Structure 1
């Protein structure tokens, strides 16, 4: 099963206020485990980078000025994700920006039902606990030492590790119920082995006699009081 972990960095919080995507990161998964195929795109936003946003991701307009615009790489991005489900932390935010960029490029939006939102999964599994990416990495003891700043590809790699843990770790087949309430296949949980003949459990005559002799040696047994 192919899935794509996806993250974006942006100039701000709202595309309707003119904010744009400046980095897209994608990590390919097969059966919830990362492959070696990644995609990282830096984008020229055709606008300034507010100081508050720069402090989060460290991407300046000077760095992005010679990078392609989203419309230049839209087909490359769409070909990479293809029809795979998209694993996103707080999916509404990233899809809002991606669909705004796709609309500017005259391309159809990504449907919301393609997204697997790890924030929602985490809140279902750990009600009341923090569901940020940092908090989940700490919960699952995933190394955060390289995350001094946010970066779309790095965050995808961290999220891929978190997603694997949310799905049950390296043995996801051992989870007895999926998110939608479907039971895992018993064929995934039971190893194939040849049937064994039934074992006799009734004691033999000799065993019964030995047991009787042992009882005769007991002094004042409880059952005789």
Structure 2
């Protein structure tokens, strides 16, 4: 039976910035669904331990004072999020993460920052997965579509409602529905694959995209580097 009808979990982070090696978790959400219908949602608000830049707060709505007053210690949040994700992966449940190489790399950096077990250690040495990244899939199956590839854009293309953009729970659920829409629209390339096989294909799809982007960037900057690792960036430290 296709994964389209099975349990899926949407995951999203809202953060202090755009560098997964240095940015911190502000909010996190896990949305569990069966056949697209939500059965459980978990949310976290963290005190990231650093000031939240105004430009980040303008996007997700969480200012430093609120995070300090209402948020839980960042190490506790990172631990609970990692433990929950690995529980799903050990059960073989696909985790949907839009732009997985950012969110999962940032979470991995947070775990290192606080001396907590890595995702790989929690999984007995194997890499996190299965992961389903609607961004990586969309780039592969509709390679020549013009325009942006943001979550908002993907929702518009695939007819998914995004009621409250840049709120972790809303984004996680929207990403999950985009994944389902991709699976239905592309049954041979996406929907009909076993989650483990789809995960493996995304590794290659992402590497091909990153390599192509690097070649294009090097026309102007010969030293440009685009990380090819997915779903986590090995170079993040």
Match of 1:45 among 48, 57, 61: 48
Name the counterpart of 1:165: 181
**Larger CA deviation: 70-79 vs 83-92:** 70-79
Residue matched to 1:156? 172
Secondary structure at the counterpart of residue 42 of structure 1: strand
User: For the structure 1 residues 39 and 182, does the alpha-carbon distance in structure 2 shift closer, same or farther, using more than 3 Å as the test?
Assistant: closer
> Bigger relative contact order, structure 1 or 2, given CA contacts below 8 A and separation 6+?
2
Q: State the secondary structure of the residue aligned to 2:42.
A: strand
Partner of 1:199: none
Counterparts of residues 114-133 of structure 1 (less than 5 Å): 114-129=130-145, 130-133=148-151
User: Do the aligned partners of residues 104 and 64 (structure 1) sit closer, same or farther apart at CA in structure 2, a change above 3 Å counting?
Assistant: same
1:42-83 per-residue CA deviation (whole Å, 9 max, x = no partner) reads 100011111111121111011110311232234432443312
Alignment of 1:68-217 (within 5 A): 68-81=72-85, 82=87, 83=89, 84-105=93-114, 106-110=116-120, 111-129=127-145, 130-144=148-162, 146-147=163-164, 149-168=165-184, 175=187, 177-179=188-190
Question: Of 35, 48, 56, which residue of structure 1 is paired with 2:59?
Answer: 56
Mapped partners of 2:109, 2:169: distance in 1: 21
Q: Which residue of 21, 25, 37 corresponds with 1:34?
A: 37
Shift of 1:35: 2.9
> Which of 16, 39, 42 is the equivalent residue of 2:21?
16
CA contact (8 A) 1:27 1:34 kept: no
Structure 1 position 181, deviation (Å): 8.0
Question: Residue 140 of structure 1: CA displacement?
Answer: 2.4
**Higher deviation after alignment, 46-55 or 80-89:** 80-89
State which of 52, 65, 70 in structure 1 corresponds to 2:68: 65
Cα shift readout 1:139-187 (whole Å, capped 9, x = no counterpart)? 123234x33x511111112112211111107xx9xx3x2439859xxxx
- Distance in structure 1 (CA, Å) of the matches to 2:119 and 2:54: 30
For structure 1, the 5+ residue unaligned runs are: 184-225
Greater C-alpha Rg: 1
